[in-house]
Structure 1
Amino acid sequence: MTYPFSAVVGLADLKLALVLNAVSPRVGGVLVRGEKGTAKSTIVRALAALLPPVAVADGCRFSCDPAAPDPLCPDAPHSGDGSVRAARLVELPVGASEDRLAGSLDLERALTEGVKAFEPGLLAAAHRGILYVDEVNLLHDHLVDLLLDAAALGTCYVEREGVSVRHSARFLLSGTMNPEEGELRPQLLDRFGLTVEARASRDPAERAEVIRRRLAYELDPEGFAGRWAAEEAELARRIAEARALLPGVVLPDAALKQIATVCAGFEVDGMRADIVTAHAAMAHAAWEGRARVGSADVRAAARLALPHRRRRDPFDAPGLDEARLDELLNDFDDYPDDDPDGRPEDPEAGNFDTSEPSSEPESGDAESDAESGSPSADPRDSGDLRDSGDLRDSRDSRGSRDPREAGVGQAGAARSPDASGSDSLTVEDAFAQAGTPYRARVFTVPGVGTGVPGRRSRARTPDGRTSGSRLPEGRITSVHLTATLRAAAPHQRSRGVAGPGLRIVKSDLREAVREGREGNLVLFAVDASGSMAARKRMGAVKAAVLSLLLDAYQRRDKVGLITFRGDTAELVLPPTSSVEAGAARMRELRTGGRTPLAAGLLKAADVLRVEHLRDPARRPLLVVVTDGRATSGPDPRRAAGLLTRVSTVVVDCESGPVRLGLAAELAAGMGALAVRLDSLADGALAQVVRATRMVA
């Protein structure tokens, strides 16, 4: 029994975005970003129950409409008979293969028997329904490309070794992701029509209501769903009515100019934002029962369609300045009221209220992190679908994460020498502003790996250019046609072939070996001691690391960050695909204390050992950023001996007219290459890393 859509507490923007896509699939899908435990998956799965049923042709595996069947459907021609079924919710697992998503051709039968045998995939199953991708940011890039191309074209194409199959694939695309686990590439993010941030409510009363409903649902799912049946039926009715009204909704020139002005004012790239906003505004007008698009419809659409299209820096979080939005909309004060029924336009754009007004005061944050219920309480008294409160406050109740705003770790703190003679801070922490990041040149780990697909080092991957052939291992997914023909040619006479053509048997088949690019693990070990802060080196160090993190983001790497100061080393960012989290940790890095260099190297060796057990195919690159001083702990040379088999670069941060060369000595003991900090700005580090060699 699915949790009812209308029983989810808060999340008004997310509900509105899903409903607009249900009204008009041309909006282009919804991407839900949010922390764990925010009911992202629950509410998407609940939407399927609200969609109108669909009529499908009998015997068609691709869900063709019997009234207008696809003439190019692989199962055509259709008999004309049909049946009605509920709209499907199809889930795409993170570990799915390309064949599972798009469908697969039986290449063995195609080549040996001449039979075009096609097994439909998930895109065919989702046609005229919902395709839901949980953790869409963890999908491999080629799967995301395929998925979004099908969503944009409404058609799935499967092309393999000269055999071509196409079928319709029109669906409501919904994806969820936790930004802590990595971001989507900007060009892929842009392909989602709407994006919503799902955050947990900080209001105790609202959180208590979440728990109450969830416990009631777990105690009696059918009874709980029955108590919300009336609200679910009302929502389904409104969606069906809005779908019927949508073809007649008028987008006047004034609204069209308003959309163009807003998109231009926010400097979004391309024209997709304008088109998506127009479709969303028309869907919103239909949802509100209006036959013409008004200013409130444009505002509601812009709030959902533009935030993820405004990123200029890859590390920027999606967001929208609503004061700026209001300023742009206010330029159209002479915009006439386009509501033919005289209904007032809702300034909050998207009130889902279907119940009596609640006597409880509204919360300042209408978003919730889960769903729940109470067996004793009337669910309609809970303000179930009401947009309760202002959702536009960009500040979290937990306060700012910037240490400078918190008043700690100011860069101007007094300094005093430590016992070793190196500078240390009298306060525990000091904050150094990062310098301006620059564009780093591409660097790679040498050799050919077998890691996950990425954009950095050479690797054997399922995609990429064909580099050779081999005997098949299991089911063939990519035939090397030339090698197959060469294997079959010497046997044609013995097989009784006297004329044109070839007879191919299973033993002749050869599988293509492809070479592409992989993502690597880039582990940073950064000296955050007082000697780094005292000589104001951390600004340059942060700029260098941020530049390499930017490159790692573009190359789809995994990153980790170790800092060492005082007496210990700390893994401040465990290896993750969220390069944005690494950038945030680096910007907020505080410095001070002595230099436990050995502890930093031992921590790096331990992290790499554990990661090798977890992900043995991903090859690492260690970047140690230090001046080579060791004013705390044991001699670092013994720790360095544990890293001689790892491709390593030591960034020498020593400065001044007199240099001790300690970092260079450390690099020599590790079999690594030492690079001076002042040579990083011109991209020299990339050349250095390309020159390193893994020790067998």
Structure 2
Amino acid sequence: MSTAYPFSAVVGLADLRQALLLNAVAPVIGGVLVRGEKGTAKSTMVRALAALLPDIAVVAGCRFACDPAAPDPGCPDGPHPAGDPLVRRSRLVELPVGATEDRVVGTLDVQRFLTEGTKAYEPGLLAAAHRGALYVDEVNLLPDHLVDLLLDSAAMGRAFVERDGVSLRHAARFLLVGTMNPEEGEPRPQLVDRFGLVVEVGAPTEPGDRAEVVRRRLAYEADPEGFAARFAEADADTAERIVAARARLPKVTLPDPALDRIARICLAYGVDGLRADIVIARTAVALAAWRDRSVVTDREVDDAARLALPHRRRRDPFDPPGADQQALDDALAQAGESEAPDGPGPEPDDPGPNDGGARPDGPQPDDRGPSEGGPGPDDPRPDAGGPGSGGAAAPDAEDRPGGAPATAPPATPAPIGATYRTRTLTARSRGRYGHSGRRSPAYAARGRVAGSRAPRGRIGALHLPDTVLAAARDHLVERIGAVHLPDTAPARVRDRRGRRIVIRQQHLREAVHIGREANLVLFVVDASGSMAARQRMATVKRAVLSLLRDAYQRRDTVGMITFRDRDATTVLRPTASHEVGVRRLADLRTGGRTPLAAGLTAAARTLAGERRRDPLRRPLLVVVTDGRFTRGPDPRTVAPALAGVPSVVVDCESGPVRLGMARTLAGALDAEYLPLAALSARALKAV
């Protein structure tokens, strides 16, 4: 076994160090989510913590690591006979991104069921991690339903199994740590909120610290055991401190003034629900135990809030994470000012909040409602919104005689108004085992069981009834030669007369699930002179931003191509980072002629490359244009290059005279035609 990098040898990362140690003292806090760019020692720190966790005593032979002093009365392996306990190290269980639900929570032991006729349960990773640590690298890439399972178990301390005819529950208390790189996409805010603490990490910014990191890493690689020995004493002291803090934890008192301060901080910060209050209270108690204090003070409350609150701010999903530090400082200051005169104040060594300008309480540029001249939340009309929308739009530059521009192109990009809920755009056909998501119907690894089929390679989920029926139809009721399933003993089931029905490999049936998949949503946006009227482009940007939000909520990958003047530009290559798309959309400028064919050609080229890179992810092409073209060939000549690609044409033509060219383009692409005014879910409901 290789020597792990010592916990005490990691340079810097004070917040991450504290968050991990507090969860080691009190796993009930709910785990730690570590956000940081690649190469910032996230995984190194987590794996190093496992060596500091204290040894545990378990019941010998129990697959669920029951404590001999207080065994779980509902343990599936219980009741446990009296005997000598087994002492072993706490485990660090790693959950890979490709894990399936049955591997996480456990499933029916198929081998024992088929060979012995016994309905037995095979434990999963949650059972293996009980009383230890569960580490999920790249948690933002893990399917949402698996993250829900992990967080529910971490919060309740129990795992519930309801699958494959198995119904049971077992203890699952563990230190949950997830790491992620924001460049690979953000998890849903609802999932982030379920983690107790969230820590942002980054590479050292001081030359001396960076040099020390490299020096220690090279020394570790040259002599792992010798390097670990240098920090063995410091790690041993930390491990002893964890054990002592665990023993003090039940004796720590959380007084009413501290609870009142927690409530005031959460109200001032504007969090949703009560989860933040509970997490801060648990973290403050763990901090007091770690600092060898018997009573929680304001210092513990404030330090706990700084770890538990930054990711819980009521904010737009597209706002950059971690942008509310000043708001948190203001909330701590406001909570201190509103305390009663006889309430406990901060300790002398308690650092006060930082001073600085808070975000104004008044409406921001993008917060305008209809009464303030801004568009309403569900009003996608081309003429509703944007500065200067009091009159009809001026004729486009390309529609005037001689091509003379009516107005100069805007010097700054058009603003984006408030978004609205859009109707669901989907691929009309059913996909084949694509990426799990919430957009288009598809055969999936999970979802409603729609039937069975002969397996194609490795079996995903065995459909037991159809497997047995397939064997029965062949009348295999006599004992014949040994017939083996892959990696199992001969499988036999008895009929009513007690004769054996032998199940051969050709009888195996795999369950077919129907669910929904995530798509690659590629936006092709017209940014030419025909869209240059400021109010029109503001409306189009608002519509595209609404579609981006919808793609974010449905776990899609997004890309964006714009076309104007002479050619098309890929402003956003397909990515899971929707925030980048929002920034590029905000900076989008307009003007020039309309090379619509070039935009479609660039889309075909992009989709072909993505199909080679990820053939399982189906595309959905969304073309936002008025259908006009003034440069290049007729866009209908490019349509064959996009044959078979599910497409939607959003027609943003407005004004009293309409040419209907977007509808013609939709016909050439065999695409769904959608006027911009019909994009809103409210407009669809009204129809």
What range describes the TM-score normalised by the shorter chain of this pair? 0.7 to 0.9
Q: Secondary structure at the match of 2:316?
A: coil
Q: Aligned partners of 1:501 and 1:481: how far apart in 2? A: 19
1:506 equivalent in alignment to 2:508? no
State the match for 1:526 in structure 2: 525
Q: Secondary structure at the match of 2:63?
A: coil
Q: Aligned partners of 1:198 and 1:205: how far apart in 2? A: 18
1:651 equivalent in alignment to 2:647? no
State the match for 1:359 in structure 2: none
**Cα pair 1:621 1:648 within 8 Å, conserved:** yes
Structure 2 residue corresponding to 1:67, chosen from 62, 66, 69: 69
1:213 equivalent in alignment to 2:195? no
Q: Aligned partners of 1:540 and 1:207: how far apart in 2? A: 48
State the match for 1:120 in structure 2: 123
State the match for 2:110 in structure 1: 107
1:605 equivalent in alignment to 2:604? yes
State the match for 2:668 in structure 1: 669
State the match for 2:443 in structure 1: 460
Mapping 1:250-269, distance limit 5 Å: 250-269=253-272
Aligned partner of 1:611: which letter?
A: E
State the match for 1:52 in structure 2: 54
Q: Aligned partners of 1:148 and 1:6: how far apart in 2? A: 28
State the match for 2:98 in structure 1: 95
State the match for 1:244 in structure 2: 247
Structure 2 residue corresponding to 1:432, chosen from 399, 414, 418: 414
Q: Secondary structure at the match of 1:131?
A: strand
Q: 1:303 to 1:428 in 2, by over 3 A?
A: same
**Cα pair 2:121 2:166 within 8 Å, conserved:** no
Post-superposition offset of 1:660: 4.0
Q: Aligned partners of 1:574 and 1:154: how far apart in 2? A: 42
Structure 2 residue corresponding to 1:470, chosen from 444, 453, 465: 453
1:313 equivalent in alignment to 2:316? yes
Aligned partner of 1:251: which letter?
A: L
1:347 equivalent in alignment to 2:351? yes
Q: Aligned partners of 1:687 and 1:669: how far apart in 2? A: 29
Answer with 41-50 or 81-90: which moved more.
81-90
Aligned partner of 2:515: which letter?
A: G
Q: 1:481 to 1:48 in 2, by over 3 A?
A: closer
Q: Aligned partners of 1:12 and 1:125: how far apart in 2? A: 29
Answer with 176-185 or 153-162: which moved more.
153-162
Q: Aligned partners of 1:91 and 1:391: how far apart in 2? A: 42
State the match for 1:84 in structure 2: 87
Post-superposition offset of 1:92: 0.7
Q: Aligned partners of 2:319 and 2:260: how far apart in 1? A: 28
Q: Aligned partners of 2:330 and 2:11: how far apart in 1? A: 27
State the match for 2:40 in structure 1: 38
Q: 1:117 to 1:594 in 2, by over 3 A?
A: same
State the match for 1:556 in structure 2: 555
**Cα pair 2:528 2:592 within 8 Å, conserved:** yes
Post-superposition offset of 1:171: 0.6
Q: 1:107 to 1:476 in 2, by over 3 A?
A: farther
Q: Aligned partners of 2:602 and 2:444: how far apart in 1? A: 31
**Cα pair 1:58 1:79 within 8 Å, conserved:** no
Post-superposition offset of 1:151: 1.6
State the match for 2:369 in structure 1: none
Post-superposition offset of 1:440: 0.9
State the match for 1:192 in structure 2: 195
Q: Aligned partners of 1:111 and 1:92: how far apart in 2? A: 28
Q: Aligned partners of 1:662 and 1:249: how far apart in 2? A: 72
Structure 1 residue corresponding to 2:424, chosen from 439, 442, 460: 442
Structure 1 residue corresponding to 2:147, chosen from 133, 140, 144: 144
Post-superposition offset of 1:33: 1.8
Structure 2 residue corresponding to 1:129, chosen from 128, 132, 135: 132
Aligned partner of 1:457: which letter?
A: S
1:331 equivalent in alignment to 2:338? yes
State the match for 1:379 in structure 2: none
**Cα pair 1:58 1:78 within 8 Å, conserved:** no
**Cα pair 2:396 2:529 within 8 Å, conserved:** no
Q: Secondary structure at the match of 1:292?
A: coil
Q: 1:278 to 1:568 in 2, by over 3 A?
A: same
**Cα pair 1:430 1:592 within 8 Å, conserved:** no
Q: 1:490 to 1:604 in 2, by over 3 A?
A: closer
Using the size of structure 2 for normalisation, the TM-score is 0.82
Query: What is the root-mean-square deviation of aligned Cα atoms in Å?
Result: 3.6
Q: Aligned partners of 2:9 and 2:551: how far apart in 1? A: 42
Q: Aligned partners of 2:407 and 2:214: how far apart in 1? A: 47
Post-superposition offset of 1:543: 0.9
Post-superposition offset of 1:602: 1.4
Aligned partner of 1:21: which letter?
A: N
Post-superposition offset of 1:282: 0.4
Answer with 82-91 or 23-32: which moved more.
82-91
1:287 equivalent in alignment to 2:290? yes
State the match for 1:5 in structure 2: 7
State the match for 1:385 in structure 2: none
Q: Aligned partners of 1:593 and 1:205: how far apart in 2? A: 51
Q: 1:420 to 1:532 in 2, by over 3 A?
A: farther
Q: Aligned partners of 1:614 and 1:535: how far apart in 2? A: 38
Q: Aligned partners of 1:264 and 1:542: how far apart in 2? A: 34
Q: Secondary structure at the match of 1:591?
A: coil
- 5+ unaligned residues in a row in structure 2: which ranges? 360-365, 367-386, 389-394, 480-493
Post-superposition offset of 1:608: 0.8
Q: Larger relative contact order (C-alpha < 8 A, sep ≥ 6)?
A: 1
Aligned partner of 1:67: which letter?
A: A
- 5+ unaligned residues in a row in structure 1: which ranges? 350-389, 396-401, 403-410, 689-696
Q: Aligned partners of 2:30 and 2:269: how far apart in 1? A: 20
